[in-house]
Amino acid sequence: MEANYDWIAMEDGERVERISAPGWLDASVEPRFSYITDLMQDLFQVPISSATLIAPDRVCLKAVVGFSPSDVPRCLAMCNFVCVPPKPEAIVFENTRLDARLAHNPYVKGDPGLLFYAAAPLIGTGGTRYGTLCVSDYKPRSFTAEMYRMLINFAELVVQELEGDQVLLSRWTEDAIASAKANNQMQACISTATDGVAMVDTRRTAWELVYTNTKFGAACGEAVDQLLGKGFWHLFKPID
């Protein structure tokens, strides 16, 4: 017997645009979310924890522990239930076999045999539901009100990580460009400096390059436009 997923809500065009435009769906698993899912696994004592984004046709795993890091068809994903209620709310299935909505789900009936599932929606700016933060187990479990609150709080951390860089970097870039245009002397000094000059985003482990002058590019053996966006530390190669 195949599962019936006619309950899937109609696509919210604005929601899909919000998660697609920043390129969030282009990359799959991202290490910046892993510390949250790792912590969730320890605190909730579950074998599986994941952070997901819900795309039109699939669920994109941004971080996962205890499960294969591959996208899941949306029509089969349990986390799609967060898009159903009119208002965002966490969902808990203490025993998936006892719930008519999941009893015939292939992830319940077959491999990996998920018998417990809880997820909090990732609620972004304006109430947009980006995806979920989930915990699951191979056996039924009880889920207390305290656990419910913890799950929601951790979901807020994921959203802050997801949206924070985009907002801050956008503001920083706009301010930097405006400042450079307003100060032609500073721009000229940097461009004609005899030494290489680079500006990096230290919020990322790789220290992404956001500006370099031609001297820095020459020292690296690459054109300036080819350097932008690369990790600063990736420019250094080990000496044989």
pLDDT in the model for residue 15: 73
pLDDT in the model for residue 18: 74
Q: Which residues contact 233 (CB under 8 A, 6 or more apart)?
A: 206, 207
Shared-domain flag, residues 35 and 113 = yes
Shared-domain flag, residues 96 and 212 = no
Q: Which residues pair with 48 in a beta bridge?
A: 136
Shared-domain flag, residues 23 and 68 = yes
Say yes or no to pLDDT of 10 above 50: no
Confidence class for position 184, pLDDT limits 50, 70, 90: low
Shared-domain flag, residues 205 and 153 = no
Residue 106: exposure state from Cβ atoms within 10 A (0-12, 13-18, ≥19): exposed
Shared-domain flag, residues 44 and 94 = yes
Closest CA to 203 of 231, 236, 238: 231
Shared-domain flag, residues 150 and 57 = yes
Number of independent structural domains in the chain: 2
Find the farthest-apart pair of alpha carbons in the chain and give their distance in angstroms, rounded. Answer: 72
Residue 176 lies in a domain: no
Q: Identify the three-state secondary structure at position 218.
A: helix
Shared-domain flag, residues 160 and 188 = no
Q: Identify the three-state secondary structure at position 26.
A: coil
Please state, in angstroms and rounded to a whole number, the distance separating the CA atoms of residues 209 and 199: 6
Shared-domain flag, residues 195 and 228 = yes
Q: How many residues does the chain have?
A: 240
Q: What is the rounded average pLDDT of the residues 15-35?
A: 75
Shared-domain flag, residues 109 and 212 = no
Confidence class for position 70, pLDDT limits 50, 70, 90: confident
Residue 111 lies in a domain: yes
Shared-domain flag, residues 156 and 188 = no
Say yes or no to pLDDT of 141 above 80: yes
Please state, in angstroms and rounded to a whole number, the distance separating the CA atoms of residues 19 and 23: 7
DSSP 2: P
- What's the pTM value of the predicted model, to 2 decimals? 0.63
Give the structural domain span for 200: 182-235
Say yes or no to pLDDT of 140 above 90: yes
Cα three-residue angle 124-128-133, rounded to 5 degrees: 60
Residue ending a domain, among 168, 192, 208, is 168
What residue type is 236 in one-letter code? F
Shared-domain flag, residues 208 and 114 = no
Please state, in angstroms and rounded to a whole number, the distance separating the CA atoms of residues 105 and 117: 12
DSSP 198: E
CA distances for 137 relative to 42, 131, 148, 229, angstroms: 13, 19, 16, 39
Say yes or no to pLDDT of 144 above 70: yes
> Which tokens belong to 54?
């819900």
The share of the chain scoring above pLDDT 90, in percent, equals 22
